Amino acid sequence: MADIVLDQVHKRYGSLTVVESMSLDIKDGEFVVFVGPSGCGKSTTLRMIAGLEDISGGRISIGGRDVTNLEPKDRNIAMVFQNYALYPHKSVYENLAFGMRMRKTPKAEIEQQVKWAAEMLGIENLLDRKPRQLSGGQMQRVSLGRALVRKPDAFLLDEPLSNLDAKLRVHMREELGLLHKRIGTSMVYVTHDQVEAMTLGDRIVVMHGGKAQQIGTPLEIYDSPANVFVAGFLGAPEMNFIDGKVCINEGKPCFRAADFEIALPEHRLSGQAVRQERAATLGIRPEHIRLGAAEAAATSSTGSKAAGDPIHIQGKVRLIEQMGAQTVLVCSTPAAQHLRVLCERLHDVAVAAPCTLSVQPDRIHLFSKETGESLLSP
């Protein structure tokens, strides 16, 4: 086991920068997830750690050893890919043992390691089968087992669950989490699936445009996103955004939209946020909007409310999505045409019905319209 340190690592192809100034300290035994849309640089970063991609600048160390210029075979890491890459003509046992045989590992040790990995992954009864006789989940376990038997300093996993169906992906996600707890080896995991990132990672690295937009624990990033991209990327249903401006009303800062005004928590505002008539974007997660009584009074755009008081926005239900235990409403208001509301299961609401939405000021997020950066401290 070992820590992994990336120090100002970047990757360029000619004039194109794919990864820019990546600095990260992955602690021994930590599970770190790189998440972001396609083309953001997350897989390239993983491949640079593995040694499959040369770096254009910076330094990488594993276990205190500088591996920047070492070949992949000399870094003592194991990589699991989206493609299982099993030898089709070999049995599961032979697939697990192949790498150790190539390294001239004694036969007794090979048998011991294969047995240990098979028991760890629950595939003891599959050792005599060929890959064509396995399900997708079983092949993924074999792929993990082939990495396990090496006893590496770290595991690097590049979207290993993306080929599985939805139900099996959830099951394998749980198994990966449990496996990490049992073996305690550092894992670096790449995915575009925010649910995998939130449920598996001790820390998440949210990437976009080759840059790490934010690094933190899942709840830190979810509760206090650093910018509009992070806020919109993590969360399902995604965060609602409403354009407006920050202004001063009766000496107090507030956010003003087309049909409402909401007092801003002064103790959380950065100094630059209180400039008068500053364009801004308000963010509110669907689960933080309450469906109020239809007769509740709406807050007018000129009305003043004390900080901490909820505001009420009048709207209309446009779409109802029943999710079983919960209901998602898509509502329209003068300020936002698609305002998502996540609430308990509802039966007595209809499309085109008027609705009143209640927003609590201490649940809002505020971003600069110009830079996209957050204007509120946690």
Predicted confidence at residue 134, as pLDDT, reads 92
H-run or E-run covering 119:
helix 107-121
Q: Which amino acid is at 203?
A: R
* CA angle at 103 for the pair 78 and 140, rounded to the nearest 5°: 35
Burial 33-44 (b: 16+ CB within 10 A, else e): bbbbeeebbbbb
Predicted confidence at residue 295, as pLDDT, reads 42
Predicted confidence at residue 308, as pLDDT, reads 63
The sheet carrying 278-284 orders its strands as 261-263, 252-256, 240-249, 278-284, 365-368
Domain 237-368: assigned CATH number: 2.40.50.140
DSSP state of 297: P
Instruction: Answer whether 355's CB lies under 8 Å from 291's CB.
Output: yes
Q: Would you kindly state where each structural domain of the chain is located, as residue ranges?
A: 4-232, 237-368
User: Which CATH fold would you assign to the domain 4-232?
Assistant: Rossmann fold (3.40.50)
| Dihedral class, residue 302 (left if φ above 0, else alpha if ψ from -120 to 50, else beta) | alpha
**Which has more pLDDT, 168 or 181?**
181
**Whole-angstrom distance, CA of residue 32 vs CA of residue 326:** 30
Q: Cβ neighbours of residue 310 under 8 Å, at least 6 residues apart? A: 290, 358, 359, 360, 361
DSSP state of 374: B
Q: 107-121 vs 136-148: helix axis angle to the nearest 10?
A: 140
Span 224-249, pLDDT tens digits = 999 999 999 999 999 999 999 998 88
Span 121-167, pLDDT tens digits = 889 999 999 999 998 888 988 998 998 888 899 999 999 888 888 88
Residue 163: name the closest of 150, 172, 155 by CA.
172
Q: How many CB atoms lie within 10 A of CB 50?
A: 19
**Whole-angstrom distance, CA of residue 72 vs CA of residue 336:** 51
**Whole-angstrom distance, CA of residue 146 vs CA of residue 151:** 10
pLDDT of 323 over the 50 cut: yes
Instruction: Answer whether 160's CB lies under 8 Å from 82's CB.
Output: yes
Query: 3-class SS at 146?
Result: helix
